[in-house]
Copies of this chain bind each other. A is one copy, B any other.
């Protein structure tokens, strides 16, 4: 299929902007754009500089999201963006790629002196990572209306400061963040470019792929209570070893993920007292289950709970479980995904869309607007680390494909 008309994005310039962002806000340990802090604000100042060069003035909404419109008087607009915040010691591309590609899209139209058939709006969502207070997708969930201020009011950072205090430092009032949802009515679609943060595309040799949606997540705390006892004096048949109950449960849960074509992770396990000379009396295991299919996800959870109970019973331990967080699978807009597939396919990328196992701002936005995403590969599947990287040719292919997708969406509607 022929590409839609519209200016091409200068991928080399976007990559140069990304490198400059990292030079200004990163250090030897990686990206340091922790949301609500000074370095994050510096990143936004650089973003404002870039937008200023094309005569666009950014503005902030009530949740701290940053918006910049090329032609704000017409509706509905197409929003393009991601987030500039990062985890501590993070990677240079996670989030920043999508924001700088969105700058590239606006710049392409501005410098071509053309007016798109639909106005374009850049958005930089606030606190996607939740790295400081543990609440991810802050700005985009405020926009979607799913954030509940009372549920985050008491969150504190490791220094004991509360989320409302950190928000106030940035002139954001927690009780007004949902007001930003008023911007929904001016928008008709949302598009986001992001790194895959996994190893699939690299293994397939694919430079670019459309994304069909985000997997659902069930995250639960499994607590096994047995009996702490002396490593030397407690015979094997008199132990109530909570650590081994958790180990057995973790291994069963791995099998559950494989059988149900999902993923399951048990990466956090804490034993108490946690010493060489005592049988563990308590074990706390965090169980993270993901599946793009809601029924399969429900099956995985039921099987995981049942396996935990079986292993607890086997070792005379008590099992208690607690929901930590859950989200339903979120499919993206069929029509937009189809356009993203065409754009990816035209660039020699993956024919089939991927499902994202990670969450993105687009998952929140998709609740209230048609949305879709484009992925580029991650070298070694590594993300949230200073080693995070993507081959320059793949970055360029992704940025150009994203620009071509925006042109298709502009032309379609």
Contacts and interface: CB of A to CB of B under 8 A. Distances in A.
A320 interface: no
Contacts of A238: 199-200, 203, 381
A215 interface: yes
A244 B269 contact: no
Interface residues of A, number: 59
Contacts of A232: 197-198, 215, 217, 263, 288, 290, 356-359
Given A230-B357, A358-B230, A381-B229, A263 B276 contact: no
Interface string A193-237: 000111110010000000000010101000000000111111111
Contacts of A189: none
Nearest to A258: B236
A247 interface: yes
Q: By DSSP majority rule, is chain A's interface helix, strand, loop, or mixed?
A: mixed
B276 A268 contact: yes
Given A233-B197, A233-B356, A236-B257, A279 B251 contact: no
Contact of A265 (B258, B279, B382): B279
Contacts of A28: none
Contacts of A290: 231-232
Contact of A280 (B197, B203, B267): B267
B263 A274 contact: no
A263 B251 contact: no
B254 A250 contact: no
A329 to B, nearest CB: 12
A199 B234 contact: yes
Interface in A277-308: 277-280, 286, 288, 290
Given A230-B384, A243-B266, A268-B274, 13 more contacts: A197-B233, A215-B232, A230-B383, A233-B356, A233-B357, A233-B383, A236-B263, A236-B264, A238-B381, A244-B251, A244-B254, A267-B271, A268-B276
Closest 6 CB pairs of A and B: A198-B233, A232-B357, A247-B247, A231-B265, A276-B286, A232-B358
20 contacts: A197-B230, A198-B235, A199-B233, A217-B232, A219-B276, A231-B267, A232-B357, A234-B357, A238-B381, A243-B266, A243-B267, A243-B269, A244-B251, A244-B266, A267-B273, A267-B274, A267-B275, A267-B276, A268-B275, A276-B286
Interface of A: 196-200, 203, 215, 217, 219, 229-238, 241, 243-244, 246-248, 250-251, 254, 257-258, 263-271, 273-280, 286, 288, 290, 324, 356-359, 381-384
